[in-house]
């Protein structure tokens, strides 16, 4: 009886206690330290102390906090439902709907921004289309103005040519005309008729014949100077790209020439020669070997034949 009176009854866990206090009492009953729980849950000691003091970070979601409480309850053998009910009684998760509301506002804002961006892109596309249409209209108007200017210029040229072709009509006699008329009157009608006959007989063909008759006549035919052609011989010790043209602009040779090829061509000097590898080519110009040592190996060369002094 005395032993029963000396034993203290265990204090029951009241519902008014917070989840942290319940977990702390259970940990102390098992003889565990806060550091032991922190090591088992892989959390910092300061986090365990904050949970036992019911000091929860408002920045952390209530879902994560409940998860920590459930893991802590398993380690100290406490019913998870009891801990979650105690957590709910402290109204810790009142701000959760506010976070959801802010998330929904953010989604609505993002949707609104997406609509504004779409509208902006549409406006930019319309402006670009208007600029393109305006540009084509400007080109069309400039072409029309150019055509009108050409038509006006052609009409002016035609009018000037018509005026030059029309004979002079009803022009007042000049002093020279009066002198000529007086001389005609003194010489008599016979000389006048003869002069008129001579003027009528002097056709453009007769004038040209008279001019040719006055020029010295040569029996030697007129010949054009002949262009002298030169023979070139190319010997390729290796594959080489080349391009060869003569003074008339004719492309004589072009492309890659294979190793061992001997190519004989002819044309009018001077020649324009381009070689991709001049060190593997020998050239004979009209029977004379060309000195190719002036061109460095490994570099292409462009030169004229014959070499300018």
Write down which residue in 75, 90, 105 finishes a domain: 90
Residue 174: inside a domain: no
Residue 65: inside a domain: yes
* Residue 142 lies in domain: 96-147
Is a pLDDT exceeding 90 seen at residue 120? yes
Verify that 101 and 85 share a domain, yes or no. Answer: no
In the numeric block, the tokens 């309850």 are attached to: 73
Kindly indicate the confidence band of residue 283, based on its pLDDT and cuts at 50, 70 and 90: very high
Residue 137: inside a domain: yes
Q: Exposure of 27 by Cβ count < 10 A (0-12 exposed, 13-18 middle, 19+ buried)?
A: buried
Pairing of strands 281-285, 229-236: antiparallel
Rg (C-alpha) for the chain, rounded Å, is 57
Q: Quote the pLDDT of residue 184.
A: 47
User: Over pLDDT 70: what percentage of the chain?
Assistant: 68
**pLDDT tens, 27-76?**
999 998 988 888 988 889 898 888 888 888 888 888 888 888 889 899 89
- The single-letter DSSP state of residue 92 is G
Write down which residue in 147, 182, 215 finishes a domain: 147
In the numeric block, the tokens 């929860």 are attached to: 56
Would you say 73 and 79 are in contact if contact means Cβ atoms under 8 Å apart? yes
Verify that 243 and 281 share a domain, yes or no. Answer: yes
Q: Give the closest residue to 273 by CA, choosing from 297, 298, 244, 250.
A: 244
Counting the structural domains of the chain, the total is 3
Is a pLDDT exceeding 90 seen at residue 242? yes
Residue 71: inside a domain: yes
User: Mean pLDDT, to the nearest integer, of 228-247?
Assistant: 93
Residue 214: inside a domain: no
Chain mean pLDDT for the chain: 77
Verify that 64 and 109 share a domain, yes or no. Answer: no
Q: Exposure of 105 by Cβ count < 10 A (0-12 exposed, 13-18 middle, 19+ buried)?
A: exposed
Q: Quote the pLDDT of residue 233.
A: 95
SS3 288: strand
């Amino acid at each position: 009886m005395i032993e029963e009176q000396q034993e203290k009854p265990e204090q029951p866990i009241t519902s008014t206690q917070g989840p942290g206090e319940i977990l702390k009492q259970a940990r102390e009953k098992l003889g565990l330290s806060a550091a032991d729980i922190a090591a088992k849950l892989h959390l910092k000691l300061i986090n365990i102390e904050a949970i036992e003091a019911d000091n929860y970070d408002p920045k952390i979601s209530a879902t994560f906090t409940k998860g920590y409480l459930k893991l802590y309850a398993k380690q100290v053998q406490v019913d998870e439902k009891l801990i979650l009910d105690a957590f709910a009684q402290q109204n810790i998760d009142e701000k959760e709907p506010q976070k959801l509301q802010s998330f929904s506002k953010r989604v609505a804002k993002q949707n609104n921004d997406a609509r504004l961006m779409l509208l902006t892109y549409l406006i930019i596309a319309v402006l670009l289309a208007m600029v393109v249409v305006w540009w084509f209209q400007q080109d069309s108007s400039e072409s029309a103005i150019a055509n009108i200017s050409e038509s006006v210029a052609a009409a002016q040229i035609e009018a000037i040519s018509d005026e030059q072709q029309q004979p002079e009509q009803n022009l007042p006699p000049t002093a020279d005309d009066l002198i000529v008329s007086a001389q005609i009157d003194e010489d008599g009608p016979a000389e006048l008729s003869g002069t008129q006959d001579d003027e009528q007989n002097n056709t453009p063909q007769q004038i040209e014949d008279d001019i040719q008759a006055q020029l010295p006549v040569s029996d030697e035919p007129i010949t054009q100077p002949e262009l002298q052609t030169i023979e070139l011989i190319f010997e390729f010790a290796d594959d080489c790209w080349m391009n060869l043209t003569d003074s008339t602009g004719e492309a004589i040779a072009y492309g890659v020439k294979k190793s061992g090829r001997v190519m004989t061509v002819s044309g009018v000097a001077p020649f324009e020669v381009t070689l991709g590898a001049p060190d593997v080519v020998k050239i004979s110009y009209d029977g004379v070997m060309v000195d190719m040592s002036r061109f460095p190996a490994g570099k292409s060369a462009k030169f004229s034949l014959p070499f300018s002094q």
